[in-house]
Amino acid sequence: MKTHPQIIDRILEVIREHQTFCIVGHVRPDGDCIGSQLGLALALRNEGKKVTVWNEDSIPLKYKFLNAEGLIEKPRRGGKFDCVIATDCASFERLGKAGECIAARKTFINIDHHESNTRYADVNWVSPREPSTGELIFRLLKVARWPITRPIADNLFTAISTDTGSFQYPTTRPGTLHASAELVTRGANLAKICDEVYQSYPLSRAKLLKHVYSKFRLTAGDRIAWFWLKKQDFARTGAESDDTEGLIDHIRAIEPVVVACVFEELEPELTRISLRSKNNQVNVSEICGQFGGGGHPAAAGARIPGKPLSVQRKVIAAVKRALNDAR
């Protein structure tokens, strides 16, 4: 078996010492967050542990099939746990309400792959080399020699697949494909996962996509593509914030584009930005860091207060600077 970091042994030691667990994930959970939370929770339950799973926001429709047992709940105050484990969450603030409800704990573990992770727990396993947290959970289970059941395989395969852009992002490594192949061998239902995650969209999302294609803009010699999602766009299309996942990839895929950006209106003077880069010399995590956000070199985000046009100008200017520095 390949060598593994001592941190895995430390985490397993903590898990074996404790009995009651709470698995928490970041606000607006994606496939990696949900798959990692549930994959770990199911494994711990199989080991006889008492497990609670909390996330502030609802599960996007396309990932609901993973939560068939209804394990993921809204956080509530008054819970006491031997151990809290955060998965796929770069900072304590990103836990949202879940963070406010986990104060009564003995040990706090943070398992994540974001380069911008702030190492906020008692025990921190942060490995930016891995393209997904799902792959870290897979390695944890392998070292522990815990059984990987079909539901666990479904969750971890979904986590790895979604955070690698279905194995298309350059972060995908040979180990990622080996792990995924083993999960399929262990029963991950490829046909169901692909159908639910990639091939079943509500009509409201198609209407939102129509908006994207008719409204996106190009600048900086077509190297920057961007579009806005205002509250009125959601009202008009019947879409929800969940429906926006992956929309940015449609403008990122335009050939001359190097950086794609989505501006989403949260409040009249609060904007969420998402950035994607196709050039490893343009680190969008550093760009988002200028605005209090973070993420990965090729995919990052931030929430920025201020008037919408002012936010747009500042972000586009920061992206232009990064593009010029990369030359």
Average confidence (pLDDT) over 129-154? 97
Instruction: Give the mean pLDDT of 280-303.
Output: 93
Considering the chain, what is the average pLDDT of its residues? 94
The whole-number average pLDDT for the span 139-148 is 97
Give the pair of three-digit tokens for residue 237: 């299309």
**What is the distance between the alpha carbons of residues 132 and 120, in angstroms, rounded to a whole number?**
19
Give the pLDDT band (50/70/90) at residue 1: very low
Q: Is the pLDDT of residue 248 over 90?
A: yes
* Higher-scoring residue by pLDDT: 319, 241: 319
Predicted local distance difference test score (pLDDT) of residue 4: 64
Tell me what the mean pLDDT of segment 280-290 comes to: 94
- What average pLDDT score do residues 280-306 get? 93
pLDDT greater at residue 307 or residue 242: 307
User: For the segment 14-65, what is each residue's pLDDT rounded down to a tens digit?
Assistant: 999 999 999 999 999 999 999 999 999 999 999 999 999 999 999 998 999 9
Average pLDDT over residues 249-271: 96
Q: Residues of the chain with pLDDT > 70: what percent?
A: 99
Q: CA geometry: angle at 169 spanning 167 and 35, to 5°?
A: 55
Is the pLDDT assigned to residue 3 strictly greater than 70?
A: no
- What pairs with residue 27 in β-bridges? none
Q: What was the pLDDT predicted at 146?
A: 98
Confidence of residue 193 (pLDDT cuts 50, 70, 90): very high
How much is the average pLDDT of 156-176?
93
Domains, the chain, ordered by start: 6-198 (3.90.1640.10), 203-325 (3.10.310.30)
Confidence band, pLDDT 50/70/90 cuts, at residue 8: very high
